[in-house]
Structure 1
Amino acid sequence: MLAAIAVASLIVLPVAAQAGRDATQQQLRDDRAAAQASATPDPDGAAPVDPDAPGEPVPTEAPRADPIPDDACTTANSTLMAPAPDGATGHRGQEIQLVNAADTPCTLEGYLDVAYGDQNGHLLDVTVEHGSSFMAQDGGAVPITLQPGESAFAEIGWDANSMHGQLVASTLWVATRPGDDRLTWDMRLDIVPGATVKVTAWHLRQSGT
């Protein structure tokens, strides 16, 4: 009789262990569902954060074919500032300012490097083009020399987009040019996958503007 009980125990214990694991997994699923249900809805109706969403991280720099000149203005010797964008009749514009923070002059030519990360921390699928937008005119790339403390500017422009149910730009990544290290800001913008962003060349501010 004792032997029969022992055999029965050997059968029941593994079944009980499996049942415990199943219960734990179900509890984890229930907890995740409850957390999602209790989360505050996004005010713009954007897609909720999904920790299991596929995607690639935003690269910390964009590829560049030729080396950056030794005397170039870079994120190492300059300060970049990215204030909140302006809006007008369904269009958006954001001015980026670069200040030479070094003790010697630095040179700048070409276009700002821009990328965006979504609410899941992944690279947002956005087309970045050089040129004018509704909010800013592009004068083309010209050589600029900045003395210590002097500034140059570039503008980013895009059309407003509905964010309902969408991945949206939640971080802005900017560098002086492709190949330089990108700096990043947490910044919610109505830029969604498939959007086109226009970027002007670096330029000096005209007097009186």
Structure 2
Amino acid sequence: MTPRPLGPTPFTTVHPDPTPAPPRPTCLASGASITVGPVAAALGHRASVVKLTNCRSTPITVDGYPDIVVLDADRRAMNVTISHATSYMAIDPGPTKLVLRKGETALAAVSWSSTVEAGEDKASGTYLAVAPGKGQHAVVWPVDTDLGTTAKVTLTAWCRKFPT
């Protein structure tokens, strides 16, 4: 048996492609600034919190659900099923009309499971396009969405704080 040398073991450093930097929050024409938080993981489930902040001096209203689209690395929309519901990671409070004064925020959770079934292709998104509501201008944020083979995303309604 050959003795193993003592001391440092050689290793290779892998430098993955850098994750695109998130955009700087800007005030959209709607009066909202949108940011997307980091992805949290638990037992194969994933979630990210979307935060909308009123960045103008007059109140703005959000009602219902944000509008999201999962985009691939080339920023093309992916074929993903989005449902408005409670998930493993977040309780959906249901749609409510919220009036936000300057600086006030509303939150929503985007969640998915990284479920993989044999013989099927995995879906992975690179960005989320998020708008305050349907038909409004979206902001694109880098968010790795490892959707497994289900390609399903769950979205909660805007709320002031998440139900517990």
Establish whether TM, by shorter chain, passes 0.5: yes
TM-aligned CA distance change 1:181 to 1:203, over 3 Å: same
Count of aligned pairs between the two proteins = 138
Distance 2:148 2:128 in 1: 13
Distance 1:157 1:146 in 2: 24
Q: CA deviation at 1:83?
A: 1.2
Which of 184, 189, 195 matches 2:140? 184
What is the match of residue 75 of structure 1? 28
The answer to whether residue 127 in structure 2 is matched with residue 174 in structure 1 is no
Identity %: 29
Structure 1: 5+ residue stretches without partners: 1-39, 44-73
The answer to whether the 8 A contact 1:86-1:93 is kept is: yes
TM-aligned CA distance change 1:137 to 1:206, over 3 Å: closer
TM-aligned CA distance change 1:114 to 1:206, over 3 Å: closer
The answer to whether residue 27 in structure 2 is matched with residue 107 in structure 1 is no
TM-aligned CA distance change 1:103 to 1:197, over 3 Å: same
What is the match of residue 27 of structure 1? none
Q: CA deviation at 1:133?
A: 0.5
Distance 1:171 1:191 in 2: 12
Which of 57, 72, 79 matches 1:118? 72
Matches within 5 A, 1:45-194: 75-76=28-29, 77-161=31-115, 166-191=122-147, 194=150
Matches within 5 A, 1:1-80: 75-76=28-29, 77-80=31-34
Distance 1:206 1:127 in 2: 23
Distance 2:66 2:75 in 1: 22
Q: CA deviation at 1:78?
A: 1.1
2:147 counterpart SS class:
coil
Structure 2: 5+ residue stretches without partners: 1-13, 18-26
Distance 1:127 1:167 in 2: 12
Distance 2:74 2:65 in 1: 28
What is the one-letter code of the residue matched to 2:39? P
The answer to whether the 8 A contact 2:35-2:52 is kept is: yes
Distance 2:85 2:28 in 1: 23
TM-score w.r.t. the length of structure 2 is: 0.74
Q: CA deviation at 1:191?
A: 2.4
The answer to whether the 8 A contact 1:124-1:192 is kept is: no
Larger strand proportion of the pair: 2
What is the one-letter code of the residue matched to 1:204? R
Bigger CA radius of gyration: 1
Q: CA deviation at 1:126?
A: 0.3
The answer to whether the 8 A contact 1:118-1:167 is kept is: no
